[in-house]
C-alpha cells in the first residue's frame, strides 16, 4: 500500500494533555502525521519529552491540569513557540474505582479535580487565546461512562458526565467566536496501559471475578466484538478537528462498537 500523504490538519497548532502515554500519546502521534505542531503536555515530563522528541515539530510541557497557573503556562508555551493555538485535546484523566462506602473522599475529589476541573481550566486558558482569533477547536476525550453510570466507579462516571455538561455549555458560549467544542466517548481500550496496569485488577477485585473474566465480560458487551483501539478514537478526533465537521458543536460522539446499546 502506498504511504498516506494527505495531511488533513496541516499547519495547525495542537495541545494534547496527558500525552506522555496511552491514548494521549497516540493522539499526539496522529496529529503529527496530520501535519500539526504538537504540544505534548503531561505531569510526567520525562515521558512527554521522549514523545515530543520523536515527532516532527513538537515541544513537551510539564503540567498538572488541575493547577491553573501551570495550565496557563502550558498555553503560553504553545503560543510563544508557535504563535497561535488551533486545537486543544483535553485528554488527561485518572481512574480510581471502588464501592461508594469505601471510597476515600479525598480520592473522589481528586478525580473531579483532574477530570472535570482540569478540563475546565484547559478550556478556559485555550479559549482566552482562541477568542481574539475568532477560531478554535476544543475536543474533550470523555468516555462511555460519561453517558451511563459505571458500577463501583462513581467518581469516574460523575466526572465524565460533568464533562459533557461542560462541553455543551462551552459550545453554546463559544459558538459566536467560531470555536467548536465537542467530546469523544470511547469504549474500552482493552490493551491500553490503563487497563493492563490497573483496571483489570481493580475491576476483578470490585466484581469478585478474575482479570481474564473481566476482559471477556467487557468484550461480550460490544456488538462489533472487539475492544476500542487508539486509531478508532484518533479517526474521530481528526474528523472533529477538521473542516469536515464544521457544522458540529456541543456533541459527545460514541466510539464504542455499539456498546452503549447493550
Ligand atoms: N483506557 C480506556 O479504556 C479509556 C476508555 C475511555 C476513555 N478513556 C479516556 O482516555 C483518556 C486517556 O486515558 P488513558 O487510558 O490513555 O490513560 P493513561 O492513564 O494511560 O494516561 C493518562 C496520562 O495523563 C497523565 N496525567 C494524569 N494526571 C494528570 C494531570 N493532573 N495533569 C496532567 N497529566 C496528567 C498521566 O501522566 C498519563 O500520561 C482519559 O481521558 C480517559 O478517561 C480511556
Q: What is the tens place of the pLDDT at every residue in 63-107? A: 999 999 999 999 999 999 999 999 999 999 999 999 999 999 999
Give me the catalytic one of 156, 200, 203, 218.
Answer: 156
How many folded domains does the chain comprise? 2
Arithmetic mean of pLDDT over the chain:
96
Domain presence at residue 144: yes
Same domain assignment for residues 19 and 48: yes
The alpha carbon of 69 and the centre of ligand 1 are apart by a number of angstroms equal to 21
Is residue 162 a part of any domain in this protein? yes
- 153 and 37 in a common domain: yes
In a domain, 1, yes or no: no
**pLDDT confidence of residue 63:** 99
Please state whether the predicted TM-score (pTM) of the whole model is above 0.85. yes
For residue 3, tell me if it sits in a domain.
no
Angle at 180 between CA 177 and CA 181, to 5 degrees: 125
Candidate of 15, 18, 44, 190 to mutate for ligand 1, largest count of ligand atoms within 8 Å of Cβ: 18
Q: What is the pLDDT of residue 4?
A: 60
Q: Which residues line ligand 1 (CB under 6 A)?
A: 17-18, 20-24, 42-44, 63-66, 91-94, 114, 118, 141, 143, 186, 188-189, 192-195
Q: Is 48 a member of any domain? A: yes
Q: Whose CA is nearest to atom 7 of ligand 1?
A: 143
Look at residue 114 and tell me if it is in a domain.
yes
Whole-number pLDDT of residue 185: 98
Nearest protein Cα to ligand 1, atom 24:
18
Task: Using a pLDDT cut of 90, give the percent of the chain over it.
Answer: 96
Q: Give 118 Cα–ligand 1 centroid separation in angstroms.
A: 12
Answer yes or no: do 74 and 25 share one domain.
yes
Tell me, what's the pLDDT at 6? 85
Q: How confident is the model at residue 3 (pLDDT cuts 50, 70, 90)?
A: low
15, 16, 17, 24: residue to mutate for ligand 1 pocket, most atoms within 8 A of CB: 24
Assign residue 135 the CATH number of its domain. 3.40.50.720
Is residue 245 domain-shared with residue 214, that is, in the same domain?
A: no
**Do 182 and 200 fall within a single domain?**
no
Nearest atom of ligand 1 to the alpha carbon of 188: 3
Q: Domain range spanning residue 64? A: 13-187+229-256
117 and 206 part of one domain: no
The answer to whether the CB of 60 falls within 8 A of the CB of 40 is: yes
249 Cα to the center of ligand 1, angstroms: 23
Looking at per-residue pLDDT, the higher value among 1 and 222 belongs to 222
Question: Which run of H or E residues covers position 181?
Answer: strand 179-186
Rounded-to-integer distance, Cα 57 and Cα 4, Å: 19
Q: What is the mean pLDDT of residues 137-161?
A: 97
Q: Which pLDDT value is given to residue 172?
A: 98
On whether both 124 and 199 belong to a single domain, the answer is no
* d(CA 159, ligand 1 centre) in Å: 13
3-state secondary structure of 34: coil
Q: What is residue 262's predicted lDDT score, i.e. its pLDDT?
A: 86
Written as nine digits, the cell of 100 is 461508594
Distances (CA, A) of 217 to 222, 225, 230, 237: 9, 11, 20, 27
C-alpha cell at 2: 502506498
Position 2 pLDDT exceeds 60: no
Rounded Cα gap, residues 18 and 64, in angstroms: 9
Q: Does a structural domain hold residue 7?
A: no
Compute the distance from residue 1 Cα to the ligand 1 centre, in Å. 33
Does residue 74 share a domain with residue 137?
A: yes
Same domain, 124 and 220: no
Q: Give percent above pLDDT 70 in the chain.
A: 98
Residues 132 and 239 in one domain: yes
Q: Please say if 230 is a catalytic residue.
A: no
Q: Are strands 136-141 and 252-255 parallel, antiparallel or unpaired?
A: unpaired
Whether residue 195 sits in one domain with residue 180? no
Closest CA to 87 of 154, 138, 18: 138
Residue 5 lies in a domain: no
Please give the number of the atom of ligand 1 that sits closest to the Cα of 22: 16
Same domain membership, residue 216 and residue 148: no
Amino acid at each position: 500500500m502506498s504511504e498516506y500523504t494527505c495531511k488533513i490538519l496541516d499547519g495547525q497548532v495542537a495541545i494534547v494533555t496527558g500525552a506522555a502515554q496511552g491514548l494521549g500519546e497516540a493522539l499526539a502521534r496522529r496529529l503529527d502525521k496530520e501535519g500539526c505542531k504538537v504540544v505534548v503536555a503531561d505531569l510526567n515530563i520525562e515521558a512527554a519529552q521522549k514523545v515530543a522528541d520523536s515527532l516532527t515539530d513538537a515541544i513537551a510541557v510539564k503540567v498538572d491540569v488541575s493547577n491553573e497557573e501551570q495550565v496557563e503556562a502550558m498555553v503560553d508555551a504553545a503560543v510563544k513557540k508557535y504563535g497561535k493555538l488551533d486545537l486543544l485535546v483535553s485528554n488527561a484523566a485518572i481512574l480510581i474505582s471502588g464501592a461508594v462506602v469505601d471510597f476515600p473522599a479525598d480520592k473522589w475529589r481528586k478525580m473531579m479535580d483532574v477530570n472535570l476541573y482540569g478540563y475546565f481550566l484547559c478550556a478556559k486558558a485555550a479559549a482566552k487565546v482562541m477568542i481574539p482569533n475568532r477560531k478554535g477547536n476544543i475536543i474533550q476525550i470523555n468516555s462511555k461512562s460519561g453517558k451511563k453510570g459505571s458500577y463501583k466507579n462513581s467518581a469516574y462516571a460523575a466526572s465524565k458526565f460533568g464533562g459533557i455538561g461542560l462541553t455543551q455549555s462551552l459550545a453554546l458560549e463559544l459558538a459566536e467566536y467560531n470555536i467548536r467544542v465537542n467530546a469523544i466517548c470511547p469504549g474500552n481500550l482493552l490493551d491500553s496501559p490503563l487497563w493492563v496496569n490497573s483496571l483489570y485488577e481493580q475491576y476483578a477485585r470490585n466484581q469478585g471475578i478474575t482479570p481474564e473474566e473481566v476482559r471477556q465480560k467487557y468484550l461480550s458487551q460490544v456488538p462489533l466484538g472487539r475492544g476500542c483501539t487508539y486509531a478508532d478514537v484518533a479517526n474521530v478526533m481528526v474528523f472533529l478537528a477538521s473542516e469536515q465537521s464544521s457544522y458540529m458543536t456541543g456533541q459527545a460522539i460514541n466510539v464504542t462498537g455499539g456498546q452503549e446499546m447493550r
